[in-house]
Amino acid sequence: MWDAPIKTLQGEDTKLGDYKGKALLLVNVASECGQTPQYTALEALQQHYEDQGFSVIGFPCNQFGGQEPGSAEDIETFCTTNYDVTFPLMEKIDVNGSGAHDIYRELTPLTDNTGHSGDIQWNFEKFVVAADGETITRFSPKTTPNDDAVITAIEDGLPG
């Protein structure tokens, strides 16, 4: 998963390995979902923990009800205008099925806080990856980014 090529929303080549050593919150996002207001809490986490070696990374996905139909430019405009998002957003990807991105192929076997493992259930499913790159905690889409369990996983995963 660390070496799988991805592109930023601006089309620049990158990989998760470029963020190794930081605690990460990986989340599949969508602009037209009932859970889209979670962007507010995601950005708050970014602002609060960024200086401690943390980053949210958003992966737009249109696989759930067609709730991320826009272009990269549309997504960026929506996120910055409505939620002042500063954390990295990647290109639109698939998280389930035969076209699932390699990052999500590695993440989906993990069990979340409700006992679910396997396919991503909906938009805003979260994975907290500790700075050690090994400890990964999965949270259901309905678990908000500011839930105590998510905060604990982030704080426990911070470097140093």
Which residues are the active-site residues?
A: 33
SS3 87: coil
- Asked if residues 124 and 33 have their Cβ atoms less than 8 Å apart, the reply is yes
Measured CA to CA in angstroms, residue 61 lies from 14, 24, 33, 87, 112 at distances of: 18, 18, 11, 16, 19
Buried b (16+ CB within 10 A) or exposed e, 4-20: eebeebeeeeeebeebe
Structure tokens at 24: 């990460």
Interior angle at CA 45, CA 124 and CA 110, nearest 5: 45
DSSP, collapsed to helix, strand or coil, labels residue 16 as helix
